[in-house]
Amino acid sequence: MTKVAIVEDNSTLRQYLAKLVANAGYRCVCTCGSAEEAMVKIPESNPQVVLMDIHLPGESGVACTAFLREKMPKVQVIMLTVYKDIEMIFQALKAGACGYVLKRASEKEILDAIAEVRAGGAPMTSQVARMVVRSFQQDSTESSQVDRLSPREMEVLALVAKGYANKEVADQMKISYGTVRIHLAHAFEKLHVRCRAEAVAKLLRSAPNSAAGLIQSSRAGGPK
């Protein structure tokens, strides 16, 4: 019998979920009202599946998920929440969550999600799946835009990311102040942004590893 744990700070919802999974033939071995409680009780209870709320008093559900996955690599965590922020979704998935179901999902969707993760799947409600797809599409577009930057434009943005003003960028690259402004203008146009901060943010989002390497290897250690 699949053992399920529930982490939810709302006591009414916590009891409802416990009853739901028990009536469906699963064994509810643990209910917790906080991440701190879950970090103690869940490893002791050793469930196969955890229904985890993101917003908890104290430590977040994301932090709790990361902790549990480190302690219990085989545990399968399904995020169950009203939160629809794409960044929070990715944080949860990166922390080791296997799926993401909105709290307003039907009882069948919640139970199907448990069955799906036990079968090796990654359940997501249709709303969340669409958000993830849109985010990947956006990332693909941003990567394409960054790929259009010339090596010099990339180098200028790397120095900007390190905190250099335009004149300091010019000094480091041994080019004129006007040339720096031209490189930035071309970069802004290619990236479809309006300022230095937006350009750097898009660079780091679309190619974080290569951008970090470029920033690290840029000509000096920081602005003077």
pLDDT tens digits for range 23-82: 999 999 999 999 999 999 999 999 999 999 988 989 999 999 999 999 999 999 999 877
- In tens, the pLDDT along 32-43 reads 999 999 999 999
pLDDT recorded at residue 126: 62
d(CA 9, CA 80): 12
Assess whether 162 and 59 both reside in one domain.
no
Query: What are the structure tokens assigned to 35, written together?
Result: 């991440």
Q: Are residues 69 and 112 in the same domain?
A: yes
Res. 188: pLDDT tops 50: yes
Does residue 223 lie within any of the structural domains? no
Record the tokens describing residue 15, joined without a space.
């009891």
Domain count, the chain: 2
CA dist 166 and 179 (Å) reads: 10
Q: What is the mean pLDDT of the chain?
A: 83
What is the rounded CA–CA span in Å between residue 95 and residue 23?
Answer: 30
pLDDT at 205 over 90: no
With bands split at pLDDT 50, 70 and 90, how would you rate the model's confidence at 131? low
pTM of the model: 0.60
Residue 160 has pLDDT above 50, yes or no: yes
- Determine the average pLDDT of the residues in 167-196: 89
Which secondary-structure segment (H or E) carries 29?
A: strand 27-32
C-alpha–C-alpha distance, residues 145 and 147, integer Å = 5
The confidence score (pLDDT) of residue 178 equals: 92
In this prediction, residue 116 carries a pLDDT of 86
Same domain assignment for residues 114 and 149:
no
Q: How far apart are the first and last CA of the chain?
A: 64
Asked if residue 51 and residue 20 are part of one domain, the reply reads yes
Tens of pLDDT along 91-114?
Answer: 787 788 888 888 888 899 899 999
Q: How many residues does the chain have?
A: 224
Q: Helix count (H) and strand count (E) of the chain?
A: 11, 5
Return the C-alpha torsion angle 33, 113, 75, 38, nearest 10: 0
Same-domain status, 172 and 93: no
Domain enclosing residue 162, as ranges: 141-217
Residue 201 lies in a domain: yes
